[in-house]
Amino acid sequence: MPQDLGVRVRIAVASGKGGTGKTTIAVSLASALADDGERVTYVDCDVEEPNGHVFLGPTFERTENVEVPVPSIDAARCTACGRCVEVCEFHALALVDGGVLAFPELCHGCGGCTLVCPEGAITEVPRALGVIEEGTAGRLRFMRGRLTVGEAMSTPVIRTLKKQLPTDGFVILDSPPGTSCPVIETLKDVDHLLLVTEPTPFGLNDLELAVGTARTLGLSMSAVINRRDAGDTGVQEYLEREGIDVWLGIPHDRAVAEAYARGVLPAAEVPGYAEGIRSLVEEVVRLRTEEESIR
Ligand code: SF4
Ligand code: SF4
């Protein structure tokens, strides 16, 4: 029986590196919850390379530009006093040949230079970083950020996306890989982190980094071990030492990779995969019950 208790449960699905099957788990979990009649929003925070749409086929209803205000210098008013250059901690401004040269791609839009300019020589102009897109994919709400090609600053796009998360139901956040600033922005304020990993020495190294980041943020977490029988026992032993529950172990199956390559959810055609995702669904529903009891 579907429940809608009005409780928002935000679950981030992340991995220390790309290629571990993170997106496959995120979209499969979101789809299975929606199939149960739950209110679910899938949020693709991997804004540099969003690919959840390949599996879920959303129809977009709303697009919003994400912009950062960058300085435009009026050379006629500028006296080359250098105050704006001094205040910019991102080195986005430089004094060159008696004038100020701006590097918009380094600008974080803090507005400091405009505030300190004694001549009123700086105005702010918008620079596009990316877009937020929202729509539906079957029973799912679908949201994603998409970074402009060639753009490096993905964190403001993720920040804008997260400000718009729904206030109820399950919210499944598909994190960028790694442990850098965009990942931390994604993981901030989530209720639980699901770490997708592989039982290899490389997988263990990246998992340790991801767990360290999650511990710093004070997150509760559990793990999914993909291709659990294709490596060694190091990851399993590490997770036990760290007290991190394994919610799901997925055996190596070439059919999963083939389904992924065709943009098909593995649960639709790989025997056993759907059962594994069902066990994940049971865990997150239990998590919601716990969340409800402490709010
Ligand atoms: S807005 Fe901030 S980051 Fe951008 S150039 Fe001015 S001081 Fe630097
Ligand atoms: S603070 Fe204003 S006047 Fe001074 S260098 Fe910068 S733009 Fe020119």
Q: Are residues 191 and 236 in the same domain?
A: yes
Question: Is the distance from the beta carbon of residue 209 to the nearest atom of ligand 1 less than 6 Å?
Answer: no
Look at residue 126 in the predicted model and tell me its pLDDT.
95
75 and 28 in one domain?
A: no
The alpha carbon of 83 and the centre of ligand 2 are apart by a number of angstroms equal to 6
| Nearest ligand 2 atom, CA 119 | 3
Picking from 111, 65, 58, the residue whose alpha carbon sits closest to that of residue 88 is: 111
Question: Is there a contact between 250 and 224 (Cβ–Cβ < 8 Å)?
Answer: yes
**For residue 176, what is the DSSP state?**
P
219 plus 280 within the same structural domain: yes
- CATH code for the domain in which residue 101 is found: 3.30.70.20
Q: Residues 19-34, buried b or exposed e (16+ Cβ, 10 A)?
A: ebbbbbbbbbbbbbbb
Cβ pair 177, 46 in contact under 8 A: yes
The answer to whether position 155 is within a domain reads no
Residue 276 beta carbon below 6 angstroms from any ligand 1 atom: no
Q: Are residues 205 and 117 in the same domain?
A: no
Strands, DSSP E only, in the chain? 8-14, 40-44, 59-73, 93-96, 99-102, 122-137, 140-147, 169-174, 192-197, 221-226, 245-250
Nearest Cα residue to atom 4 of ligand 1: 107
Residues 200 and 265 in one domain: yes
In a domain, 51, yes or no: no
Q: What are φ and ψ of residue 187, in 5° steps?
A: -80, -20
Ligand 2 site residues, Cβ closer than 6 angstroms? 73, 78-84, 100, 116-117, 119, 121-122
Which residues, other chains included, contact 18 with Cβ-Cβ below 8 Å and sequence gap of 6+? 177, 178
Residue 209 sits in the same domain as residue 282: yes
Residue 60 resides in a domain: no
**Within-domain flag for 286:** yes
For residues 295 and 11, is the Cβ–Cβ distance under 8 A?
no
Alpha carbon distance 125, 108 (integer Å): 13
User: Which residue's CA is the closest to the ligand 1 atom numbered 2?
Assistant: 110
Domain hosting residue 256, numbered range = 8-39+166-294
Identify the pLDDT of residue 253.
82
How many separate domains does the chain show? 2
Residues 201 and 264 in one domain: yes
pLDDT at 6: 62
Q: What is the mean pLDDT for each group of 10 consecutive residues in the chain (295 residues)?
A: 64 86 93 94 96 95 96 96 97 94 94 96 96 96 95 92 93 91 93 94 92 93 90 91 94 83 84 88 89 74
- Residue pair 288/168 in contact by the 8 Å Cβ criterion: no
90 lies in a domain? Answer: yes
Q: Residue 155's closest CA among 175, 126, 171?
A: 175
Q: With respect to residue 49, please indicate whether it lies within any of the assigned structural domains.
A: no
Q: How many CB atoms lie within 10 A of CB 178?
A: 18
What is the model's pLDDT at position 155? 93
CATH number at residue 202: 3.40.50.300
Query: Is 234 a domain residue?
Result: yes
Q: How far apart are CA 125 and CA 35, in angstroms?
A: 45
Predicted TM-score (pTM) of the model is 0.89
